[in-house]
C-alpha cells in the first residue's frame, strides 16, 4: 500500500483534461477505461486540441513556445541567481588560459591536458601554459585506425549485419575518447607544449578529415573481410593489405594535421616563466611526459602522480564495488583497456572534494546537454522547468536514462572548486574547453543535484579513496557490450 503522501503526489501529478479525478485510483490509472487503439485518430486529436486550447494558460504557452526557444522561455531565474561563481574550496592553480576545442570532438584531450598542465605550470613557475592537444589527436587517429582494422580482422566470421559489426562500422575513428585511452597515448608518445605542435585547421575543425578517414576505413573493412574469408588464418594472409591501408591513413593524417614531433627525438621548448625570465628546455616528448612522475613534479603537484590516476564511475544499473570494462573499446592495441570502478555518488564526491582540498584538479565525464545552458554556463536540474511549459515531467531516473540510451558521457571537463555547506557540496566550478565566450569567461558552474543525475565519471588519485575501492582494480571486469552507454566516448 502506498503512503498517503505518495498517493497525494500521484493524484497531483496526474493530468486530467476533462473529468475530475476519481476518489479511488488503482495502479496510477484514472477510473475511466477507454478501449485500446493501435492507430492515431484524427477526430480524437482534434478533440484533444479543442480541450487543450480552452485553457488560457495553454493559449499563452502556444503563443510563447511557437515563437521562442523553449529552453530560454522555461529557464528559471532562481536557478541562475543561485549558481554563482563563488566557492569556499578551490585549487590554488586552476590552469590558464581557457582552452578552445573549437569544431572538434576533442574535449577528452583538452580536459586531460588541462589536468596535466597544472603540474607542469607548478614545476616550471608558469602563469599560462597549454599542452598540444593536436599532438595527441594525431597519434590517437592513427592508433584508432589500426585498432579498428584489428577488430575487423578479428571478427571476419561475424555477420556483417549483426550488431557488433554495425557498431564497429558506426564510428571507426571518432574524435572522442576516454581517460585510459589518453593515458595510453601519453605512455607511448609522450607530451609536447602546444607551441611546438599547434592546431592545424583540421585539428580545430575536424569534420572533413574524420569523414574521409571514416569512408576509407569502412572501405578497408569490407576489403579485409573479403580477403580474410578466403584464408584459414586471416592475420597471416592480410599483413601486406593492412600495411598498405595504414600507410594511406598515415598519409591523410600527415597532410591534414602536419608531421608531429618524433616521440623519441629531442625538442627544444623556449618560454618565459611567471617572473618574465627566459627559460629553455631540451627534452623528448616521452621524457617530458615522464617528468610528471618525477619527485619534483609530484611534490609540486601536492603529492599526486598523474600517471596513477584512475576512473570512478557511477552506473546505477550495475553493482557498486565492481570493475567494469567495455568489449572492443580502446585505441592502442596491446595497451590498457578502458576500466571503470563503479561506485555510488557519495564515494565519488567525497574523493573529489578531498582532491580539491589538496589542490588537485579533476577530469570528469558528464552528459553536458541536459538541463544546461552553454551561454550562461549553468548546469542545474532546476534550470529549465519543462513541467511548467508542458504539464508533464521528464521522469526517467539515472539508471533508466542509461537503460534507454537517453543519456551517456558526452563531454569531459575539469573540476577546480566546490562550495561546501555543513560538509555537503552545493555547487562545483567547472573548467570547460569551449573558449571564453561560453559560460563566465569559459567557466561553468554545476549544481550538486545536477552532478548526481548527469555526472558519470571522475578520475581520481588512489590516495583519496579507500583500500576497498582501490582493490576493485584487481577484479576481473564485467564486460559491457560495445554499444553500452558506458562505451560512449566523450
For every residue of 76-141, DSSP letters joined together read -HHHHHH--S--SEE-S---SS--B--BSS-HHHHHHHHHHHHHHHHHHT-SS--B-HHHHHHHHH
User: Which residues carry out catalysis?
Assistant: 107, 411, 432
Distance, CA of 219 to chain centre = 29
Task: Name the grid cell of 444.
Answer: 561553468
Question: Which three-class secondary structure state does DSSP give residue 227?
Answer: helix
Per-residue confidence in pLDDT tens, the chain, 490 aa = 444 344 444 334 434 344 444 444 444 555 678 889 999 999 999 999 999 999 999 999 999 999 999 999 999 999 999 999 999 999 999 999 999 999 999 999 999 999 999 999 999 999 999 999 999 999 999 999 999 999 999 999 999 999 999 999 999 999 999 999 999 999 999 999 999 999 999 999 999 999 999 999 999 999 999 998 776 666 677 889 999 999 999 999 999 999 999 999 999 999 999 999 999 999 999 999 999 888 888 887 888 888 899 999 999 999 999 999 999 999 999 999 999 999 999 999 999 999 999 999 999 999 999 999 999 999 999 999 999 999 999 999 999 999 999 999 999 999 999 999 999 999 999 999 999 999 999 999 999 999 999 999 999 999 999 999 999 999 999 999 999 999 999 8
Helix (H) or strand (E) holding 341: strand 339-342
Task: Name the grid cell of 377.
Answer: 554556463
Distance, CA of 340 to chain centre = 14
Q: Contact, 224 vs 105, CB < 8 A?
A: no
pTM: 0.92
Amino acid at each position: 500500500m502506498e503512503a498517503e503522501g505518495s498517493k497525494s503526489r500521484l493524484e497531483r501529478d496526474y493530468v486530467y483534461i476533462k473529468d475530475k479525478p476519481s476518489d479511488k485510483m488503482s495502479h496510477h490509472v484514472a477510473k475511466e477505461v477507454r478501449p485500446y487503439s493501435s492507430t492515431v485518430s484524427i477526430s480524437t486529436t482534434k478533440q484533444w486540441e479543442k480541450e487543450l486550447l480552452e485553457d488560457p494558460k495553454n493559449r499563452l504557452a502556444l503563443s510563447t513556445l511557437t515563437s521562442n526557444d523553449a529552453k530560454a522561455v522555461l529557464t528559471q531565474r532562481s536557478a541562475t541567481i543561485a549558481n554563482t561563481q563563488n566557492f569556499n574550496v578551490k585549487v590554488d592553480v586552476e590552469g590558464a588560459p581557457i582552452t578552445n576545442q573549437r569544431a572538434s570532438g576533442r574535449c577528452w584531450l583538452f580536459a586531460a591536458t588541462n589536468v596535466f598542465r597544472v603540474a607542469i605550470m607548478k614545476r616550471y613557475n608558469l602563469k599560462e601554459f597549454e599542452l598540444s592537444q593536436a599532438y595527441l589527436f594525431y597519434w590517437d587517429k592513427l592508433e584508432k585506425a589500426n585498432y579498428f582494422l584489428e577488430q575487423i580482422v578479428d571478427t571476419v566470421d561475424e555477420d556483417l549485419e549483426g550488431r557488433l559489426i554495425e557498431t564497429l562500422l558506426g564510428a571507426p575513428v571518432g574524435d572522442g575518447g576516454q581517460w585510459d585511452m589518453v593515458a595510453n597515448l601519453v605512455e607511448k608518445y609522450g607530451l609536447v607544449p602546444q607551441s611546438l605542435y599547434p592546431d592545424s585547421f583540421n585539428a580545430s575543425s575536424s569534420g572533413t578529415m574524420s569523414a574521409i578517414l571514416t569512408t576509407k576505413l569502412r572501405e578497408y573493412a569490407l576489403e579485409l573481410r573479403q580477403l580474410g574469408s578466403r584464408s584459414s588464418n586471416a592475420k597471416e594472409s592480410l599483413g601486406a593489405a593492412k600495411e598498405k591501408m595504414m600507410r594511406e591513413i598515415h598519409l591523410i593524417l600527415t597532410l591534414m594535421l602536419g608531421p608531429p614531433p618524433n616521440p623519441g627525438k629531442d625538442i627544444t621548448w623556449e618560454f618565459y616563466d611567471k617572473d618574465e625570465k627566459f627559460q629553455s628546455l631540451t627534452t623528448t616528448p616521452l621524457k617530458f611526459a615522464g617528468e610528471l612522475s618525477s619527485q619534483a613534479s609530484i611534490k609540486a603537484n601536492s603529492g599526486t602522480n598523474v600517471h596513477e590516476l584512475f576512473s570512478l564511475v557511477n552506473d546505477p544499473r550495475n553493482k557498486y564495488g565492481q570493475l567494469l570494462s567495455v568489449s572492443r573499446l580502446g585505441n592502442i592495441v596491446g595497451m590498457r583497456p578502458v576500466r571503470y570502478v563503479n561506485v555510488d555518488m557519495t564515494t565519488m564526491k567525497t574523493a573529489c572534494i578531498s582532491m580539491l582540498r589538496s589542490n588537485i584538479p579533476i577530469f570528469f565525464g558528464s552528459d553536458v546537454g541536459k538541463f544546461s545552458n552553454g551561454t550562461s554556463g549553468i548546469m542545474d536540474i532546476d534550470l529549465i522547468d519543462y513541467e511548467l511549459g508542458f504539464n508533464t515531467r521528464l521522469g526517467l531516473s539515472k539508471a533508466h536514462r542509461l537503460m534507454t540510451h537517453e543519456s551517456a558521457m558526452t563531454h569531459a571537463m575539469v573540476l577546480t572548486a566546490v562550495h561546501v555547506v555543513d560538509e555537503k557540496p552545493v555547487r562545483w566550478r567547472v573548467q570547460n574547453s569551449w573558449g571564453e565566450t561560453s559560460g563566465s569567461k569559459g567557466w561553468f558552474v554545476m549544481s550538486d543535484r545536477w552532478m548526481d543525475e548527469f555526472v558519470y565519471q571522475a578520475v581520481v588519485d588512489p590516495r583519496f579513496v579507500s583500500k576497498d575501492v582501490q582493490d576493485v582494480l584487481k577484479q576481473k571486469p564485467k564486460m559491457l557490450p560495445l554499444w553500452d552507454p558506458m562505451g560512449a566516448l566523450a
